């Protein structure tokens, strides 16, 4: 196992996912972000570091505060990987599944 630091590994952790969701609403300081979690502040700080390394967020210092901002465009990398499968789950095979389960539903209702 070698050290990985890619967006897929970054969003594997639920705390980091929650941080990204927080930052989707607004830019926040390190402290404000940490206040949303029971986890110790240095632990959150480490998460911010990981997210920064993946360029999923961006830090900008203002005085003694550091504001973190989401870089949603980087999430596109994940989105693009998912794209390979999108055509499959939107395909007629899935649609056939839907037809079958609709028929089932109608049978249940009858």
If the CB atoms of residues 89 and 105 are measured against its own copies, the closer one turns out to be 89
Place of tokens 């300081």: 29
Q: Residue 89's CB: how many other CB atoms inside 10 A?
A: 11
Residues of span 2-61 touching its own copies by CB under 8 A: 4, 8-9, 11-12, 14, 17, 20-21, 24
Nearest to 9 by CA among 53, 67, 39: 53
Query: CB of 68 within 8 A of CB of 57?
Result: yes
Strand-pairing partners, residue 69, are: 58
Binding positions for its own copies, rule: CB under 8 A: 4, 8-9, 11-12, 14, 17, 20-21, 24, 70, 72-73, 75-76, 78-79, 81-82, 84-86, 88-89, 94, 97
Binding positions for DNA, rule: CB under 7 A: 1-5, 9, 12-13, 15-16, 29-32, 34, 38-43, 45-50, 59, 62-66
């Amino acid at each position: 196992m070698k050290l990985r630091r890619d967006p897929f590994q970054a969003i594997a952790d639920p705390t980091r996912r929650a941080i990204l969701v927080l930052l989707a609403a607004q830019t926040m300081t390190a402290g404000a972000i940490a206040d949303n979690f029971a986890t110790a502040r240095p632990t959150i700080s480490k998460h911010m570091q990981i997210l920064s390394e993946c360029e999923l967020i961006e830090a900008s210092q203002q005085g003694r505060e550091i504001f973190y901002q989401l870089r949603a465009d980087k999430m596109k990398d994940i989105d693009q990987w998912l794209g390979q499968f999108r055509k499959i789950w939107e395909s007629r095979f899935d649609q056939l599944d839907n037809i079958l389960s609709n028929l089932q539903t109608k049978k249940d209702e009858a």
